[in-house]
Amino acid sequence: MEILLISEYILIIALLFMMLVALRVSAKKSILSTLIGTSAVTLTMGVLLILIGEVFSIGFCRDIALAIIFLGVVGTIGYAIVARRT
């Protein structure tokens, strides 16, 4: 195996661990921790999809990942603006 492929697999495992931690953070009762956890999950899922698309040569993963990342960031900023007003 090439060293790049091994490092990509290690990164996939690390991203899955980060997603589990972010899900645990988002399960707390605070609104702020839920917002942070959900944002971390969307960013992790986007990076994971891009990486899986590169490893297994799946072309449409990049488009889906960019949409998830964009909508996750826009949704987080929008919710933060609405929550700040109340």
Amino acid found at 17: F
Closest CA to 55 of 9, 2, 10: 9
Q: In the prediction, which pLDDT does 48 show?
A: 92
Q: In the prediction, which pLDDT does 70 show?
A: 92
Q: How many C-beta atoms lie closer than 10 Å to residue 35's C-beta?
A: 17
Per-residue pLDDT for the chain (86 aa), expressed as one digit of tens each? 688 889 999 999 999 999 999 999 988 888 888 888 888 999 999 999 999 998 888 888 889 999 999 998 898 888 888 888 87
Task: Sketch the domain layout of the chain as residue ranges.
Answer: 3-85
Based on C-alpha coordinates, what's the Rg of the chain?
15
